[in-house]
Structures are given as structure tokens and as C-alpha cells.
Structure 1
Amino acid sequence: MSRLLDKYKTKVLPTLKQSLGRENVHSIPRILKVVVSMGLGKALADRKRIEEAVDHLRTIVGQKPQVTKSRRAVSGFRLRENVDVGCKVTLRGARMYDFLDRLITLALPRVRDFRGVRSTGFDGNGNFSMGLNEQTVFPEIDPDKVTYVQGMNIAIVTSAGDDAEALQLLREIGIPFVKDQAI
């Protein structure tokens, strides 16, 4: 069992049960899935950027990413329809908890000048999104072998009905939010 999943079952569930005043375990918020994506706008000129981003994302999450294609042509961006523009992977279950554990304990503390995650990434329905500027904060990626530094977006989808419950869930799990911000 994943270390974060064990923490959720033993510590987070009882704490949320008491603070939310609910007896039913199924009504307590939980994380449903995590979507990690990389947008590669500069990949139009160089095919190697897509291949390197897919390889790095596969190394980070432990699952093969899906290459995303453009839906329509936009002449202002020199973009044609059906061209590779990014990659994404959806994590559920044990891989999701393993990725979140590595994100919280290893990657976020390695971000330069890190003071906490801002809580402005909630969408109003209990889902949270954040971004990282470079993939080299993960220890699996060797910075000496990186040709193109690429950022990534991380979307955490929860079963919480509102942002306050989702914030409480993510704080209990261990995501280091900035202390003075509230929803």
C-alpha cells in the first residue's frame, strides 16, 4: 500500500470525519484522479521536443503519456489542425498516490524560492490545479541530460463539493499551502 494512501486511511479520514461532522465514510472528500500535462507550443519546429517530453513524463509518473493533438488551425500561432502539441497522463489508484507522495515530499521542496502552494488554483467545484516551471525538480530526471526545460500542469480532481472541503483535504494530505491565504 502506498504511504500516502495509508496516511489518508489512518489519519486524514478520521480528522475530516470529525471536522466536517459526518459519520458516513463515503461522504468524506477523497482524491479521484490526478492529470499531469505538458503543453509543447515550441514543438512545432522540433519533433525532438515531443519525444523528450513524453520520455520525461513517462519517467516521472510511471505510465505512458498520451500525445495530444491540436483540434483546429490557428494562423496566428502557425498551428495546423491535427498536429502534436503536448502530452498528458491521467493517474488513478496506487500510481496516483505514489505520484502525489513524490510531489509533496521530493519535488515541491526542490523548487527554487518555494514558500508554499497558492490556494488560488481551485475551480469552485473542489478541483485544484497547479503548475511547475520545470520537470527537473523531480529526482528521476537527470538535469545534465535535459535538452529542453519544460513546465507541467498538475490537476487534482476531488470528490469534494466545494473549495473549502477540498482545501481541507489537500492540507491534511500534506500539500504545503501558503498559510495566510484562505478561500
Structure 2
Amino acid sequence: MADYTPRMKARYDEEIVKAMTEKFGYKNRLEVPKLEKITLNMGVGEASQDKKKVQTAAEEMALIAGQKPVITKAKKSIAQFKLREGMPIG
């Protein structure tokens, strides 16, 4: 497990740090700003009515991020959006 490096971090270390060093003229690799956090968000819109589409969207997000996403559920019902409390929204 210690050998695993997240794909986005590996890409940042291998490609982006090198490109930023050249572009901004950093003399040392440690001068390049570090990423603290990457946040991904996906809204499913009309697909919230269909649980299968929500599940598919979650699987796609897992492929992109390399982590299992948290499916957010509605806290309150909103009649104009045809949204009920507890329905998945993203």
C-alpha cells in the first residue's frame, strides 16, 4: 500500500512541476507552489429521478478521482425542482 501514488499527484509531480519550473523560471523544485486539495463536484440534474443514472455518474467520478464519491442527498423538499427530502442530487 505504501507504493501507491494517486494518479493526479503523480501527474502533478512529473509534468506540471516541470512545466511551471520552466515557465516561471524557478531555480529550485521546492519553489513551485504545492497543491493542498483537489475538489471535484458533479451535479446530475434531471438524472436525479433515475437511481441508475446517479449510480453511473458516481462510478464515472470514481474512475476520474480514484476514490469512491459521496452521493449528496437533499436536506429539504423543494416542489419547484420536483425534489424530495433524501433524494440524491449529486
Q: TM-score range by the shorter chain?
A: 0.5 to 0.7
Scaled by the length of structure 2, the TM-score of the pair is 0.65
CA distance in 1, matches of 2:69, 2:47: 16
What is the match of residue 12 of structure 2? 4
What is the match of residue 89 of structure 2? 85
Displacement of 1:13 after TM fit? Answer: 4.8
The aligned runs of 1:98-117 (5 Å cut-off) are none
Query: Any unmatched runs of 5+ in structure 1?
Result: 19-24, 87-183
CA distance in 2, matches of 1:44, 1:11: 40
Query: Any unmatched runs of 5+ in structure 2?
Result: none
Indicate the percent of aligned positions where both proteins have the same amino acid: 28
In structure 2, the CA distance between the partners of 1:80 and 1:16, relative to structure 1 (3 Å rule), is farther
What SS does the corresponding residue of 1:58 show, helix, strand or coil?
helix
CA distance in 2, matches of 1:57, 1:46: 17
Scaled by the length of structure 1, the TM-score of the pair is 0.36
What is the match of residue 43 of structure 2? 39
Q: Which amino acid aligns with 1:49?
A: K
The aligned runs of 1:1-183 (5 Å cut-off) are 2-7=10-15, 8=17, 10=18, 12-13=20-21, 15=24, 17=26, 29-86=33-90
In structure 2, the CA distance between the partners of 1:33 and 1:16, relative to structure 1 (3 Å rule), is farther
CA distance in 2, matches of 1:62, 1:56: 10
Displacement of 1:61 after TM fit? Answer: 2.1
Which structure dedicates a bigger proportion of its chain to strand?
1
Displacement of 1:80 after TM fit? Answer: 1.5
Alignment deviations for residues 43-62 of structure 1 (CA, whole Å, 9 cap, x no partner): 34211111111111112222
Q: Which amino acid aligns with 1:4?
A: Y
Larger RCO (CA within 8 A; separation ≥ 6):
1
Moved >6 Å (runs of 4+): none
**Aligned residue pair count:** 79
Displacement of 1:11 after TM fit? Answer: 5.1
